[in-house]
Amino acid sequence: MKQFEVNFDGLVGPTHNYAGLSFGNVASLNNANAKSSPKQAAKQGLAKAKALADMGMVQGVLAPQERPDIAALRRLGFTGSDARVLESAAKQSREIFLACCSASSMWTANAATVSPSADTADGRVHFTPANLTNKFHRSLEPQVTGNILRGTFANEKHFAHHQHLPDNEHFGDEGAANHTRLCSNYGQAGIELFVYGRHAFDTSKPAPKKYPARQTLEACQAVARLHGLDDDGVVYMQQNPDVIDQGVFHNDVIAVGNQNVLFFHEQAFYQKDAGFKELQAKFGSEPLHFIEVPTAEVSVQDAVKTYLFNTQIITLPSGDMTIIAPTECQENEAVKRYLDKLVTLGTPIKSVNFFDVKQSMRNGGGPACLRLRVAMNDQELAAVNQNTLINDTQFARLNAWVDKHYRDELGEDDLRDPQLLIESRTALDELTQILKIGSVYPFQQG
Ligand SMILES: N=C(N)NCCC[C@H](NC(=O)CCC(=O)O)C(=O)O
């Protein structure tokens, strides 16, 4: 049986904008109110996805969410026609209005936590959508995320879909952004590393002081239970609270893993020695490559600015690993110097490829934020909705779809335009037909 790691990239939605919604995410706050380009953003994302497909990787896409979220605005008491709901929300509560317009579902690393069949008790691939409770604009996502995942992985024999965890800060869950799987081969049982920012119930434990820790240990444990993971295949580590306070709002901003490699910053983890010892012991006799980047070579600040660790490490068909990095890494002297050195160190990582995903980076989303990893065997891959996989035809169709429906530029005033709502719904309705994922959006459900 063949084994794959498939990357499902989030298609950027037609309302992609910069609203400064994510306290603790430096880029989001710094770019608040800048003009965005939804068309460029969607095309940058598609170009990255296509480039990976061209490298021989299996690559998919996940549909974006319906925004502006009129249903959420109605839940909050805005009434009348859709246009009236938009207008009164924009006038009466700018913050609520902007949150309900965010295209944040593009960062599919936060869509869900995924456990491959080799790790789970019932031998199915398990998905739990992230509840994203820490940010109001992101907490609107899990229900529709679940619909999209069911439309993409629509086969009960191979795929198990759970409801997101209770919508409460005690179970704050940010999905795969705080989860990495280490394994010898994608098809063999691996070690699932869950990284949390704080303990929900035990306040005597360390926690950040300035910025929020979005993920709790209790959420990680609940996901591991739901997925039927064996204790011997799970390790929990805490993110260093000090780096959360320096803008590392998800663990994938400071660490990334692939197969037998864990690439991380010296300051990424709290009590790292004990954690790494447990990881190696559970991994078995084959040595793991712990690639630690010292602060002396790359500061936490530079890591946050360039997203050196929000890179994708992928295994090419040749067996070599390559890093998919944002161009910001090329433009920073210390980070570029480190990457030049990294490929000579004799680790499995042999090359680096740079991509321009600046539209996403300005909201704090690098290459790794834009993708959800799903390790599958060939039977499971055959059970995936094939229309969601990228090949030349689907790439051309999606690019043409973006050209047809997306605006070149978007500012805050455009978001209140009822025409944008009509354009977005028209685009998404057509997308559900291109991807054949069914009526996943509230506006399609009447
Ligand atoms: N690291 C990973 N995996 N994902 C990045 C998510 C970025 C996202 N930014 C935003 O939601 C900003 C939206 C705005 O400000 O308009 C967030 O903070 O949740």
In the annotated binding site, the residues are 19-28, 110, 137-138, 214, 252, 363
Atom number in ligand 1 closest to CA 22 = 18
Look at the pTM and tell me if it is higher than 0.90.
yes
DSSP 8-class letter at 54: H
H or E, element range at 218? helix 217-226
> Tell me, which fold does domain 3-67+102-444 have in CATH?
L-arginine/glycine Amidinotransferase; Chain A (3.75.10)
User: Ligand 1 pocket check: which of 21, 131, 179 to mutate, most ligand atoms within 8 Å of Cβ?
Assistant: 21
Nearest CA to ligand 1 atom 9: 363
Residues in contact with 10: Cβ distance below 8 Å, sequence separation at least 6, in sequence order: 45, 61, 62, 64, 105, 106, 107, 108, 111, 370, 371, 372
User: Ligand 1 pocket check: which of 23, 104, 211, 253 to mutate, most ligand atoms within 8 Å of Cβ?
Assistant: 104
Report how far residue 305's alpha carbon sits from residue 310's, in angstroms, rounded to the nearest whole number.
Answer: 11
Domain boundaries in the chain?
3-67+102-444
Atom number in ligand 1 closest to CA 176 = 3
Report how far residue 372's alpha carbon sits from residue 289's, in angstroms, rounded to the nearest whole number.
Answer: 23
Report how far residue 181's alpha carbon sits from residue 275's, in angstroms, rounded to the nearest whole number.
Answer: 14
369 is catalytic: yes
ipTM for this prediction? 0.99
Residue from 92, 67, 98, 66 nearest 77 by CA: 92
Give pLDDT tens digits along the chain (446 positions).
899 999 999 999 999 999 999 999 999 999 999 999 999 999 999 999 999 999 999 999 999 999 999 999 999 999 999 999 999 999 999 999 999 999 999 999 999 999 999 999 999 999 999 999 999 999 999 999 999 999 999 999 999 999 999 999 999 999 999 999 999 999 999 999 999 999 999 989 999 999 999 999 999 999 999 999 999 999 999 999 999 999 999 999 999 999 999 999 999 999 999 999 999 999 999 999 999 999 999 999 999 999 999 999 999 999 999 999 999 999 999 999 999 999 999 999 999 999 999 999 999 999 999 999 999 999 999 999 999 999 999 999 999 999 999 999 999 999 999 999 999 999 999 999 999 999 999 999 97
Atom number in ligand 1 closest to CA 109 = 3
Active-site residue (options: 126, 164, 179, 250): 250
Active-site residue (options: 265, 369, 380, 405): 369
